[in-house]
């Protein structure tokens, strides 16, 4: 244990000497495009049947945009605030009540999430003037909605929780100029939240046929458990 403590103290002492600096700019603003591998939707989260309750539908290849403000308060550490918007829908089969009985229709179903994440970052000691490597982690709040569109009808949120979770990431900046860099990151997080929604119409006309939609609240659970890869442009200033 003493050897580990001494190694950490030595690393913290020599890091400012080993690593390239951000050339005097303490603030950084980034715009990024992200790809998340997968998420899960649980259509029956409150079912008494444990098998049905754990049934999930996978949503893959999720793309999003994010904005981050990052402040470097020392040569080793920085704080960041990330705002992101994620929305994804896929074409799925849905059984609804029609004029001739229950029928299977195609519906656009998915989710939207607004993550608000606060993170602390550590600049790794093998960074250079051109390549800045970092690792970090923090906590986030996640506001989400269940999306389903059937013809001209769609779900509206009745109740939704704000989920809280933690995340970790690793990344690298390539400095193009003193004030500009390209940033790549890989992030691990696992937000999960419950929603309660309701159709905004009780009937819908599709292909000259009338379909009836339940007005009972629809419960669902969404878990975004995939790995997120991010590529962005960063402006360093002040």
Give the residue-averaged pLDDT of 135-150.
95
Those residues whose C-beta lies under 8 Å from the C-beta of residue 7, and which sit 6 or more positions away, are: none
Q: Is the pLDDT of residue 25 over 80?
A: yes
- What pLDDT, on the 0 to 100 scale, is given for residue 100? 63
Q: Is the pLDDT of residue 12 over 60?
A: no
Tally the domains of the chain. Answer: 1
* Cβ proximity of 117 and 81 under 8 Å: yes
Task: Check residues 142 and 238 and name the one with the higher pLDDT.
Answer: 142
Give the residue-averaged pLDDT of 71-97.
91
Host domain of residue 105: 2-237
- What pLDDT, on the 0 to 100 scale, is given for residue 14? 40
* Cβ proximity of 176 and 223 under 8 Å: no
At 193 the three-state DSSP class reads strand
- What pLDDT, on the 0 to 100 scale, is given for residue 72? 93
- What pLDDT, on the 0 to 100 scale, is given for residue 5? 43
- What pLDDT, on the 0 to 100 scale, is given for residue 24? 67
* Cβ proximity of 103 and 96 under 8 Å: yes
CA angle 65, 69, 70 (to 5 degrees): 125
What's the CATH code of the domain at 8? 2.40.160.20
C-alpha to C-alpha distance for 184 and 39, rounded to whole angstroms: 21
Give pTM, 2 decimals: 0.83
Residue 23: band (very low, low, confident or very high) from pLDDT cuts 50, 70, 90: low
How distant, in Å, are the alpha carbons of 27, 155, 200 from that of 98?
A: 58, 18, 17
Matching residue, tokens 């992101």: 84
């Amino acid at each position: 244990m003493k050897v580990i403590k001494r190694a950490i103290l030595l690393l913290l002492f020599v890091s400012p000497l080993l690593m390239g600096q951000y050339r005097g700019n303490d603030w950084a603003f980034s715009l990024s495009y992200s790809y998340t591998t997968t998420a899960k939707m649980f259509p029956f989260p409150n079912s008494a049947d444990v098998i049905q309750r754990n049934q999930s539908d996978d949503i893959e290849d999720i793309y999003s945009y994010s904005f981050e403000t990052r402040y470097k308060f020392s040569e080793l550490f920085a704080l960041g605030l990330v705002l992101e918007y994620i929305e994804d829908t896929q074409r799925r089969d849905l059984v609804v009540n029609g004029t001739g009985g229950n029928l299977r229709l195609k519906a656009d179903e998915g989710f939207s999430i607004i993550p608000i994440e606060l993170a602390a970052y550590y600049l790794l000691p093998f960074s250079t003037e051109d390549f800045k490597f970092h690792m970090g982690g923090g906590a986030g709040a996640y506001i989400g909605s269940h999306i389903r569109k059937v013809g001209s009808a769609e779900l509206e949120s009745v109740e939704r929780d704000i989920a809280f979770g933690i995340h970790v990431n690793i990344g690298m900046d390539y400095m193009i100029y003193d004030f500009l860099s390209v940033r790549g990151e890989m992030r691990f997080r696992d937000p999960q939240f419950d929603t309660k929604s309701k159709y905004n119409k009780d009937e819908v006309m599709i292909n000259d046929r009338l379909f009836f939609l339940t007005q009972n609240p629809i419960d669902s659970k969404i878990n975004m458990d995939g790995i997120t890869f991010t590529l962005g442009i960063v402006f360093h200033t002040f």
